[in-house]
Structure 1
Amino acid sequence: MRPTGRLHLGHYHGVLKNWLRLQHEYECFFFVADWHALTTHYEEPEKLEDSVWDMVIDWLATGINPGSATLFIQSRIPEHAELNLLLSMITPLSWLERVPSYKDQQEKLKERDLSTFGFLGYPLLQSADILAYRAGQVPIGADQEAHVEITREIARRFNHLYGREPGFEENAEAAIGKMGRKTANLYRKLRRSYLEQGDDEALATAKALLKEQSNITLGDQERLFGYLEGTGKVILPEPQALLTEQSRMPGLDGQKMSKSYGNTISLREDRDSVASKLKKMPTDPARIRRNDPGEPEKCPVWQLHQVYSDEQRKDWVQTGCRSAGIGCLDCKKPLIEAVQAELEPIRIEARELENNPDVVKSIISEGTEKARDEAQDTLRKVREAIGLDYR
């Protein structure tokens, strides 16, 4: 996540609630993408440090657990930059120019000079972020699939160029023999079905078969993954997009909650400010007087009820608004209570962390050390494949 300062309810419902679930289902790496922040905000370095620590505190306060996930800062892992550089040697310029968000962001951020090498290359840096950990899955929304797809293409191109070790076929056949006759015959049958008939089910079955083998080395396993698809040794596995449901958190004006729209409630906002903002929310413009009937579908407050209210409460809103049985302040009262109840434990935990900055920095230091071990292991394999292991 790019450090843009304190997080708001849009971040919580759109991303962090997914992270809270995923950290207990997978080995997760969550990092502060401070280099990515510089691709669009390179003229504002004075804001970066505070934004980094504010964001980490918000993560921890919402329940992201350093015991369940690895938390770190991107710029503290120089291997990200090295892998980005090495991948840039093989990545066609046209691949970067065609990423949909490249032109889209230039349009949205016209006030900024984004005609920089860093901005053009940010999808490649994202790919390096993913491939440095040989990630199996990347949690994203549907609008970000293009970023995972270019990562897959870059990994595929890298493996094609550098996975052809001398005697690859002979080494692969020798590895097959180590699995035992029955398993070896099944592997060959599945490989043939995929290469000759394009049977994707056979490919998936063969990959699952390889993962179960305990009598071959990791190197042989990677070699056989590549042999399955007629390529070389898999040095950088192709990640899959893990499409996660992204709740659209409406802002105070009914648009998507975003700092650029000035319609947010931050996760650490004080109680009085939260109550004041919600009380001042615009409502159905047809309800000029208390006894005028309204239409919930035309009211931003109704959008928030869809996030926070149960079916009984929603029915109460629908009926009361259309019949003028409830006023707009009546409608907002249970919302204010629900938002305050959601934010209060976050506020309490955040205050504790604000008062103990050394604890936060220690969590990041430990996570960075673990992440760097993983990234260094990947870079050793990459350097060896390219021929840079003569140091």
Structure 2
Amino acid sequence: MKKIVLSGMRPTGILHLGNLYGALSNWIELQNKDYERFYFVADWHALTTGFSNSTDIPQNTINMVVDWLAFGLDAEKNTLFVQSLVKEHAELFLLLSMITPVSWLERVPSYKDQIAQLGKSKTSNYGFLGYPVLMAADIIIYKAHYVPVGLDQVAHLEFTRELVRHFNHTVEKEVFIEPQPLLTEVPKILGLDGRKMSKSYDNAIYLSDTEEETAKKIKVMFTDPRRKRKSDPGVAKDCGVFMLHKIFTDKQKQNEIEKACSQATIGCVECKKMLIENLNNALKPIREKRNELLQKKDYVKEILIEGSKKASLKAKETMEEVRDAIFSKGRLG
């Protein structure tokens, strides 16, 4: 049997370059390797901090999956599905929550960080506290061997591995396997203001942006702070504009730009003009595909419905094993 790869995204709407050239580019690279692949819309996860905006989730789901397909994710090679259409995720989440110590949840690396960023009004619910358990259920219900992550996300996956060990020990049976991180190199992409590109920071370039909107954003993008004047030498690797050149500009030209920046023979305005042209040229066919798919929303919905049916078959098989392990003779008398 092929080994299984699984990952998901929360449906926050249209995707920006950080999403596209981070996680999604890795998904697309993996689709040409010998794995069985499951990629899902994590709509229940979106509720943990955004329940008041739940009515946006259906449209956000379509917009996000349209971006997946336009960017090159192949629905024929991958199983694309919606978390909430596979009810077994919720059942496994419930059963795992019965054996998960609260102290484990409170020490998850992002728990306190998210509370600080989002405030207690959005994070004082059980769903937020228990989201790592739901995340674990999402992964292990498909007996996923690998989860593609960046190095900074390995600690999050370790919670799932620890919970697998705890469950197997509790039921005295090897029901689940421990998923391994499939380490992938994620290109560093800064937003317009020099911080990490993020929708929440309002500093992102979106696939849905027009060529004119993209050009306008690039023109005001932060560059190397050392270059207050054109005659000031800079360090290209510290510049958000050059980080995009590393994706959208050919290697020879990258080297020329890096050298010219360090020698102050090129200004930031000229550098940005080259990026605007290269970026828009690269995104043009993707944007055209996106616009085409937006006219075929029923087709996108059908992909997700069929994918969810396929995912359900796998999830149902796993849940039969789980119920047998928990409720088999000798466990409840």
Same fold, judged at TM 0.5 (above): yes
Q: Name the CA shift for 1:73/1:288 in 2 (closer, same or farther; >3 Å).
A: same
Structure 1 distance, partners of 2:61, 2:22, is 19
Structure 2 distance, partners of 1:289, 1:93, is 54
SS of 1:251's equivalent? coil
Aligned to 1:206: none
Aligned pairs for 1:141-156 within 5 A: 141-156=150-165
Do structure 1's residue 10 and structure 2's residue 18 form an aligned pair?
Answer: yes
SS of 1:256's equivalent? coil
Aligned to 2:141: 132
- The CA deviation at 1:161 is 2.1
Contact 1:268 1:346 (C-alpha < 8 Å) held by counterparts: no
- The CA deviation at 1:56 is 0.7
Cα deviations by residue, 1:155-195 (Å, 9 ceiling, x for unpaired) = 222222223xxxxxxxxxxxxxxxxxxxxxxxxxxxxxxxx
Aligned to 1:376: 316
2:185 to 224, 233, 245: 245
- The CA deviation at 1:285 is 5.4
Do structure 1's residue 96 and structure 2's residue 105 form an aligned pair?
Answer: yes
TM-score (norm 1): 0.77
- The CA deviation at 1:316 is 2.6
Could you tell me which amino acid in structure 2 is paired with residue 5 of structure 1? G
Moved more, 310-319 or 372-381: 310-319
1:352 to 263, 280, 292: 292
Structure 1 distance, partners of 2:31, 2:255, is 35
Do structure 1's residue 43 and structure 2's residue 43 form an aligned pair?
Answer: no
- The CA deviation at 1:111 is 6.4
Structure 2 distance, partners of 1:285, 1:83, is 50
Q: Name the CA shift for 1:331/1:98 in 2 (closer, same or farther; >3 Å).
A: same
Aligned to 2:37: 28
Could you tell me which amino acid in structure 2 is paired with residue 21 of structure 1? E
Do structure 1's residue 116 and structure 2's residue 110 form an aligned pair?
Answer: no
Cα deviations by residue, 1:62-83 (Å, 9 ceiling, x for unpaired) = 1111111100000111100000
Contact 1:139 1:242 (C-alpha < 8 Å) held by counterparts: yes
Aligned to 1:228: none
Structure 2 distance, partners of 1:325, 1:145, is 42
Aligned to 2:280: 340
Contact 2:50 2:122 (C-alpha < 8 Å) held by counterparts: no
Contact 2:146 2:182 (C-alpha < 8 Å) held by counterparts: yes
Moved more, 381-390 or 6-15: 381-390
Aligned to 2:3: none
Structure 2 distance, partners of 1:154, 1:100, is 16
Could you tell me which amino acid in structure 2 is paired with residue 51 of structure 1? N
SS of 1:257's equivalent? coil
Moved more, 239-248 or 300-309: 300-309
SS of 2:122's equivalent? coil
Could you tell me which amino acid in structure 2 is paired with residue 23 of structure 1? Q
Do structure 1's residue 362 and structure 2's residue 302 form an aligned pair?
Answer: yes
CA RMSD of aligned residues (A): 2.1
Structure 2 distance, partners of 1:23, 1:281, is 33
Contact 2:171 2:325 (C-alpha < 8 Å) held by counterparts: yes
Contact 1:296 1:302 (C-alpha < 8 Å) held by counterparts: no
2:174 to 224, 231, 234: 234
Contact 2:189 2:240 (C-alpha < 8 Å) held by counterparts: no
Cα deviations by residue, 1:17-50 (Å, 9 ceiling, x for unpaired) = 1000112221110000000000011121222121
TM-score (norm 2): 0.90
SS of 1:113's equivalent? helix
Structure 1 distance, partners of 2:268, 2:285, is 28
Contact 1:131 1:236 (C-alpha < 8 Å) held by counterparts: yes
Structure (1 or 2) with the larger CA radius of gyration = 1
- The CA deviation at 1:286 is 6.0
Contact 1:279 1:329 (C-alpha < 8 Å) held by counterparts: yes
Moved more, 247-256 or 372-381: 247-256
Could you tell me which amino acid in structure 2 is paired with residue 270 of structure 1? T
Gaps of 5+ in 1: 164-232
